[in-house]
Structure 1
């Protein structure tokens, strides 16, 4: 990093090791932040990337170029004028940043091939490099722990709700014995090999899911298991530690309900999960990870606040705390509900007709009625909505945007004049929602992401940036970068002209692009059979 105070610039020069172990500047990813004084108290901040056409993004160390302009620039402007202290710890406050950077680069290079073979529908760059970053953090944290406690053997672990299992795969490969457990098997599990230990099983908080021989429990976006992980760690053994990275907000018995309006929901939930750790007798530490996610605060419990002789006292304290969180006992219990007073579950509501997973009995479950993740994942990302309903919403929103601004005198696009093509106005998601009827909104709210997800799914027509909806102008779309992953480049080529152009059919000015430049078909005569569908049939 080069700082030029006189000219108000900070230049970032990324360094990477070559095959000879020497550092070289990665020229394509140089960028500069400049602060310029306009007049009086007016300043401007800008970001310049001298080689935008060659920019490389891995989602972690090298963000997308659009992120620098659309996200970072606005954040810099905001941070420059706001005076409130941050409600979170600084990034990587519990470990050495220098060591983290070194290990991360090594692991990124070691596991980068996973991006090319990623079989899941999720974004490979985000998930691969995020798990590499989390693994890096844990490896350094555990290395420091071994030094502090003078341990020679590497720590063992269990990842509860391990998802794609990549974190488990990396930790196993780096010499840590452990396994991942998830209610649903993923396609990528078959690619890891026998050295990676993954189990498909439902986890019910109870006596049958304790891990007395495990050093660390991991909850990486573990959803409904998140508040239970400190409890499971505390009851597994006195030496068991935990690491949780909360994402979705869950209480012990279901969705988390806000109790304080003065905090953000995220901050309030983190405080709740930290409080669970304190009640379980842990010294709870908080840190921010360096990952491409808005939910990047982790909570760590690696030491106890009580001596081993007080385990029974702490256990009763945990039970009482869980019971106090369970509001159904005071609010919704009726004749169908009884109470289970057995160990770990005194006073907890028990639905007498609730089903338990195989090999579980009511006496071993700490909270009967706990709802684990469903084995078959429900598709609620608007992809399963009826096509006619989606088409109706798309057309309604498009007409709303087109009519929100006075119609320009525009020639018909089919005649070739595209200089007056009407892109319409941009509106906030809230403004768009206000123009849709209640029945439509109700149907959208049953899907994850609702209206925003539906509009983003229809990216041929819309662009959603910073909470505002725009009609997409394909003339402004940049051509594919030459360093675009082979898989994405191949899929783009295979999808060319396999769908009709929405603008050609519905936009009053037609498509903004000539037929030969548009990736979509201008009429049925241009339609190609999808090669992607053909391949799926042969799998």
Structure 2
């Protein structure tokens, strides 16, 4: 059954092929079952008739031996391969599942530029029972400016509905958004390492370190993000280092939780991490994991010398200093830098200069230029990590000869002095008095309004609750009060009280959310919350261990003491204590 679906959006020829290239090389963007893909080979042929019937009639194979898989396809799909690029191309693709335990899938993709059409064939052996892509042929083509989906499938099938409702709209979106002259700092992911090797290594490390680390994670941060992100970064570095003749030495500056240091060390490399603050998890690592609490300043960066790699993974204020530290370490020192928050050399926030670019893009360009000024031939790559800031810069080779090393160091010193606004008084090889550089405090300040004076907190709660309860009818059903926009409540707070609140950096919304047993904040509006029963509190508690440790009916019920109608719950079921405050 041939089914045809089109869109009314007009698409031009170039943007069609650019969007199809995204679909082929980055199928995981639209297919959430996929981690990515590997293009195993590309073939160019003379004309459509050389292969089309063979592809169509032999798109199901029987061999699961990967080493012989390509030969079998070439045997079944007979065509004449030529060396130069033509309008007819066959791409052999391996689809990699997000779940490491699922079977891979294989596709043959036939590109026919003469007809502006691309067709996808599932050629996965039936024994592998793949569940990653449609098992029937389907194609996208451009006809009179319209993007059309053709399929040999039952219209009601789940796979066809996915192609129609998810894939087709996304391809159209790409086609209409892509500009032929659009440029990006980095368009592709994992360009400096093997995609297939990365996939295998990442999943091995994920099983080896990730799952157990998520279980025991003692920090307040989300382990599923931070653990697997560091596993991914470790995977990337290990693949970068795999061809070196000896284990690499490294320093992770701003190491945070130290997980990256832990994995790299356990995988056979020798290094340590430094950070301005000690983390709880540091005590859980083996004795051979070296982590140091110290503040890095321009006057002590010379201590990181004679190592193979300087690592800056979301190093914040130290980001612009990473290539400088690597440059002064020794001529053969490399760096890996993953910028996140934008900072200048003096620790102040980087201010965007060009409003036509995002701050992130402009900052990356600034850091790249800085790295080049330090004498590096900089490579840029995009990591596969759960973060929006995933573009990294790598410096492995210098743009000057070793006998020019001292001259280059002087150039770097002069550059820093100019950017900070100092005279040439920086000596990166000696201990100097600390310059006026902002560094992070070794003790992290609590900035969520919990340290606010209790009298200030109570005055704000009383002011807002009184306003919400204006006009309460004591004879009616229990009332949650008016539903008021947050900004209207801000205007009720005295200026001096707001100043004290803002000094805690949380703001009124944070204070109200901290008192969620009283207030409910939704869609920018506030009202009083209906009190919870003991059973409701228990049902919202996820872990049995926490339920066993719950202490209820200890704190006095705010509604019992402050609401004009009292608490709507009886003292037996209310999770707070019904006792008058003296």
TM-score computed with the length of structure 1 as normaliser = 0.64
CA deviation digits over 1:469-513, x for unaligned, max 9? Answer: 555867999989999975xx5335523525556566666787788
Alpha-carbon shift at residue 325 of structure 1 (Å): 1.5
Q: Are 2:359 and 1:265 equivalent residues in the alignment?
A: yes
CA distance in 2, matches of 1:511, 1:79: 55
Counterpart position of 1:252: 345
Asked whether the 8 Å contact 1:402–1:424 carries over to 2, the reply is no
Counterpart position of 2:200: 102
Q: Are 2:476 and 1:378 equivalent residues in the alignment?
A: no
Structure-to-structure mapping, 1:273-352, within 5 angstroms: 273-327=367-421, 329=422, 341=425, 343-344=427-428
Q: Are 2:578 and 1:523 equivalent residues in the alignment?
A: yes
Counterpart position of 1:178: 271
Counterpart position of 2:212: 113
User: Any unmatched runs of 5+ in structure 2?
Assistant: 8-28, 34-96, 105-126, 133-157, 159-169
Counterpart position of 1:348: none
CA distance in 1, matches of 2:376, 2:345: 18
**Matched position secondary structure for 1:226:** helix
Counterpart position of 1:446: 503
CA distance in 2, matches of 1:12, 1:409: 54
Q: Are 2:298 and 1:200 equivalent residues in the alignment?
A: no
Structure-to-structure mapping, 1:408-419, within 5 angstroms: 411-413=476-478
**Matched position secondary structure for 2:546:** helix
Structure-2 change in CA distance of 1:104 and 1:93 (3 Å): closer
Alpha-carbon shift at residue 130 of structure 1 (Å): 2.7
Asked whether the 8 Å contact 2:302–2:428 carries over to 1, the reply is no
CA distance in 2, matches of 1:436, 1:511: 26
Alpha-carbon shift at residue 319 of structure 1 (Å): 1.6
CA distance in 2, matches of 1:83, 1:367: 49
Q: Which moved more, 1:435-444 or 1:108-117?
A: 435-444
Asked whether the 8 Å contact 2:449–2:507 carries over to 1, the reply is yes
CA distance in 2, matches of 1:171, 1:126: 19
Asked whether the 8 Å contact 2:480–2:529 carries over to 1, the reply is no
CA deviation digits over 1:307-366, x for unaligned, max 9? Answer: 223323322221222112124x5xxxxxxxxx6736359xxxxxxxxxxxxxxxxx5238
Q: Which moved more, 1:122-131 or 1:183-192?
A: 122-131
Alpha-carbon shift at residue 118 of structure 1 (Å): 2.4
Asked whether the 8 Å contact 1:107–1:132 carries over to 2, the reply is yes
CA distance in 2, matches of 1:272, 1:186: 31
User: Any unmatched runs of 5+ in structure 1?
Assistant: 28-49, 51-74, 330-338, 346-362, 414-419, 526-539
Alpha-carbon shift at residue 89 of structure 1 (Å): 3.5
Asked whether the 8 Å contact 2:560–2:566 carries over to 1, the reply is yes
CA distance in 2, matches of 1:517, 1:86: 63
Q: Are 2:431 and 1:364 equivalent residues in the alignment?
A: yes
CA distance in 1, matches of 2:320, 2:473: 56
Structure-2 change in CA distance of 1:275 and 1:399 (3 Å): farther
CA distance in 2, matches of 1:481, 1:11: 38
Alpha-carbon shift at residue 232 of structure 1 (Å): 0.4
Asked whether the 8 Å contact 1:18–1:24 carries over to 2, the reply is no
TM-score computed with the length of structure 2 as normaliser = 0.60
CA deviation digits over 1:451-474, x for unaligned, max 9? Answer: 454444444456767x84555867
Alpha-carbon shift at residue 173 of structure 1 (Å): 1.2
RMSD: 4.9
Q: Are 2:241 and 1:142 equivalent residues in the alignment?
A: yes
Asked whether the 8 Å contact 1:402–1:422 carries over to 2, the reply is yes
Q: Which moved more, 1:312-321 or 1:18-27?
A: 18-27
Structure-2 change in CA distance of 1:342 and 1:276 (3 Å): closer
Structure-2 change in CA distance of 1:17 and 1:401 (3 Å): farther
CA distance in 1, matches of 2:280, 2:504: 24
Structure-2 change in CA distance of 1:410 and 1:17 (3 Å): farther
